[in-house]
Amino acid sequence: MTIVNEMVVPMLGDRFELALVMMYRLHLSQVRKGSPVPYVAHLLSVAALVLEDGGDEDEAIAALLHDAMEDQGLRRDVLCLRFGDRVCEIVEGCTESVVVPRRPWRERKLLHLAMVEGATVSVRRVTMADKLHNVRSFLAEYERLGPGLWGRFGGGRDGTIWYYREMVSRLQVGERSGMMQSLLACVERLEQLV
């Protein structure tokens, strides 16, 4: 750690580098839904938001790997062995489902909302960063595509907006960070657009 202007600045070490490489390899062929944007851009953005919010190295690593279990089948034991129990617990807290076949969309979302309510500060920070980047992406894509955007998502327009509104209501309890305020403003903007 380094101290700059009386702030403790987390240093990112070899574990973070390993997570970057693993994230890149796991998600190399994946793109954002209905978009040519490489999925790794989302994961890098989430990690940046976590670090900018004061997150530590474990939280940044978890941000990079938050979809690895759900989307790429990374096993829990491999994740824990390489990055430790705390990173593993944060990733699990951000994971909607590893059950195959996946549960129906609404059921997965309800279970994830319930998990977030009792989650640790670290899980909530990574989840908040994930949702903030998603909503910012929705807003940018809505400007380009208009209502056609909603066809990409299992919940459609109404379900997607319901889910993000519910997520905000659970995440904002006792939360006053700048990231929370940004998420709230983006969800409100999304609601106004539609």
pLDDT, tens only, 5-19: 676 665 899 999 999
Quote the pTM value. 0.92
**How confident is the model at residue 4, as a pLDDT?**
62
Q: Tokens 């990112």: give the residue.
A: 12
Candidate list 56, 57, 67, 70, residue with the active-site label: 70
Query: Where residue 16 sits, what CATH number does that domain have?
Result: 1.10.3210.10
pLDDT score for 99: 73
pLDDT score at 175: 78
Query: Residue 77 to residues 81, 95, 126: CA-CA distances in angstroms?
Result: 6, 15, 21
pLDDT tens digits for 61-89?
999 999 999 999 999 999 999 999 999 99
The single-letter code of the amino acid at 123 is V
pLDDT, residue 53, reads 95
Alpha helices in 53-174 (DSSP H): 57-64, 68-72, 76-83, 85-94, 105-117, 121-145, 156-171
Which structural domain range is residue 63 located in?
2-193
Per-residue pLDDT, 9: 62
71 is catalytic: yes
In the chain, the number of structural domains is 1
The pLDDT tens digits for 15-46 are 999 999 999 999 999 999 888 999 999 999 99
Q: Which amino acid is at 187?
A: V
Classify the C-alpha dihedral 27-102-46-75 as positive or negative. negative
Q: Give the pLDDT of residue 10.
A: 58
Mean pLDDT rounded to a whole number for the chain: 92
CA dist 178 and 158 (Å) reads 27
As a whole-number percent, the residues of the chain with pLDDT over 70 amount to: 95
Per the model's pLDDT, the better-predicted residue between 98 and 76 turns out to be: 76
Helices and strands: H and E segment counts in the chain: 10, 2
List the structure tokens of 144: 């380009």
Burial environment of residue 136 by CB neighbours within 10 A (0 to 12, 13 to 18, 19 or more)? middle
Give the model's confidence band at 194: pLDDT under 50 very low, under 70 low, under 90 confident, else very high.
Answer: confident
Tell me if residue 70 is catalytic.
yes
